[in-house]
Amino acid sequence: MPDPADTSAATLVVVDVQNDFCPGGALAVADGDAVVPLVNRIARRFGVRVYTQDWHAADHRSFASSHPGASPFSTTEMSYGMQVLWPDHCVQGTPGAEFHPGLDLEPADLILRKGFRPHVDSYSAFYENDRVTPTGLAGYLRERGIASVWLAGLATDFCVHYSALDAVRLGFRVTLVEDACREIDLDGSHAAALAAMGEAGVAFVRTAEFAA
């Protein structure tokens, strides 16, 4: 079990805590804003803090609106595999794409925008959904001497899940701060994501385990 009292040489990756993923947003995650005070409470304990930001073009191909007749949360085959078609969300420059106003960004070492290429979605903080196009985060962390990645944010079963598995695949030690995440839970996706992360060797902690 990772020691939450010793995270000064680790990075916290805070995934997509943006207005559109919080209550009232275009793709709201139930109770999504509840992660904000938890992230704020623990962020400064980490040596490096990275905040990711979904940043989609208005005509992004992962939007159901870009596929005539398609319904949100249906799926389609893209050049890189099966893609969930989402409601329009986190469109570049819109209020929905902004970080939640309660999120403390002062500790941020890096704000990483992802999903800006119109023809490929990007759940992971490390790779786009084609699984080959890197965001550059792995190289940034290695140059900073980081070997341990901790994850929080939205949503557990999509962007956090993909980020965790990619971080493991890239050779990082990975820990999920479970209560500082919330899930969409699309057709059992939450339980499947937790199982996949556990099988990959991701550790799980809760914010209460951090030293006061």
* Residue found by looking up tokens 């339980």 in the block: 191
- State the Cα–Cα distance between residues 41 and 64, nearest whole angstrom: 36
| Contact yes or no for 131/170 (Cβ under 8 A) | no
Alpha helix (H) residue ranges in 6-117: 35-42
From 22, 90, 159, 181, the catalytic residue:
159
Whether a cis peptide bond, with omega within 30° of 0, leads into 180 is: no
6 is catalytic: no
Cβ atoms of 53 and 15 closer than 8 Å = no
The distance from CA 145 to its chain's CA centroid, rounded to whole angstroms, is 22
Active site residue 159: yes
Residue 179 annotated among the catalytic residues of the structure? no
Specify whether the backbone of 10 is left (phi greater than 0), alpha (psi in -120 to 50) or beta: beta
- Residues 22, 33, 114, 121: which is the catalytic one? 114
Q: How far apart are CA 19 and CA 139, in angstroms?
A: 28
Active-site residues, by number, are 16, 114, 159
